[in-house]
Structure 1
Amino acid sequence: MSGKFQLKKAKDGQFHFNLLASNGQVILTSELYKAKDSALNGIESVRKNATREGAFESKTSGNDKFYFVLKATNGQVVGQSQMYASAASRDAGIQSVTSNAPDAKLDDETA
């Protein structure tokens, strides 16, 4: 089983998506989008950029947790990970996005 993109509508009417690994764990979360088409474009951007060299930026939060962001070629952040306890877990999360995103199916829960 491969990963999937889960497209959702927030209570305020905006759209967002999560990329889930094959085990159902969220590995990447998007920002909020005003339009559904914009969220779908964000999903395509994740698919394209997940395997691009230099697209991931590894970060450390102020409370010493580890996370990453995925950036499009224009430098805009298209997704962010959860917080991880270790750098190794964060790096495994990056690998999971790289392997799951390109072929992930879309689960549209907005209807």
Structure 2
Amino acid sequence: MAGRFEIYRNDGQFVFRLTGDDGATLVTSEPYGDKETAIAGINGIRDCASTALIADLS
């Protein structure tokens, strides 16, 4: 699955979402004040996601 990060504006803030191959939204970020910080958030997810553990809290 490749997915895609999309950066967009919402109420004057920058937000990103990760979409799957089928276009479904998988993750939506918190709002960021500038695009550079939103990009840093994307890079943080890229760095952590591949090694993140799954915690079953059910």
Give me the TM-score of the superposition, normalised by structure 1: 0.46
Matching of residue 33 in structure 1 with residue 32 in structure 2: yes
Letter in 1 for 2:25: V
- 1:2 maps to 2:16: no
Q: Which residue matches 2:22?
A: 23
- Matched residue, 2:49: 50
Q: How many residues align?
A: 58
- CA distance in structure 1 between the partners assigned to 2:57 and 2:31 by the alignment: 21
Where does the alignment leave 5 or more consecutive residues of structure 1 unmatched?
Answer: 61-111
Query: What residue ranges of structure 2 are gaps of 5+ in the alignment?
Result: none
* Partner Cα distance (2:34, 2:23) in 1: 26
Q: 1:32 to 1:58 in 2, by over 3 A?
A: farther
Moved over 2 A (4+): 56-60
| Counterpart Cα distance in 2 of 1:50 and 1:40 | 15
Q: Which has the higher contact order (CA 8 A, sep 6+)?
A: 1
3-state secondary structure, aligned to 1:27: strand
